[in-house]
Amino acid sequence: MTKSSTTPIVAEFGPSVQEYIELELEQHCPRPEVCAICQAEGQITGHGYYLRKPKEWGRGYLIRVKRWRGKACGKTFGCLPSFVLRFRHYLVEVIQVVLVGRLEVGYSWSESEELYSEEGVPARRSFQRW
């Protein structure tokens, strides 16, 4: 399976990763009505979970993300919580703070690195990829 064969949907699960973890057993991503891949209606089955390890300011988490499988196309997709981004290791909150500092406040890459390095955020190269 290639990365392009899995397309996540984004679901709002509350304001924080801590809430998501605390209520994990009660958090169920509602069954989508259509497949995120082929758009077939009513042909979605649960396909377990996968683990994500999003990072925050010097802290990491382990969360389970619900997976679904389209019966028509046979492809899987995840129900990604809104506080994480696809293919990113850091929480949306962390990425947002760094980008606001850089793009709105006007911090240089060096200033950003110096300011946020104490908080446990990644190196300048990660900032630049964001």
What amino acid is encoded at 111 in this protein? E
What is the pTM assigned to this prediction?
0.74
Print the SS3 string covering 68-124: EEECCCCCEEEEEECCCCCCCCECHHHHHHHHHHHHHHCCCHHHHHHHHHCCCCCCH
3-37 residue pLDDT tens: 444 556 666 666 688 888 777 766 567 788 999 99
pLDDT digits (tens, 9 = 90+) for 41-76: 989 999 999 999 999 888 899 998 889 999 999 999
How far does CA 58 lie from the centroid of its chain? Answer: 17
- Cα 71 from chain centroid (whole Å): 25
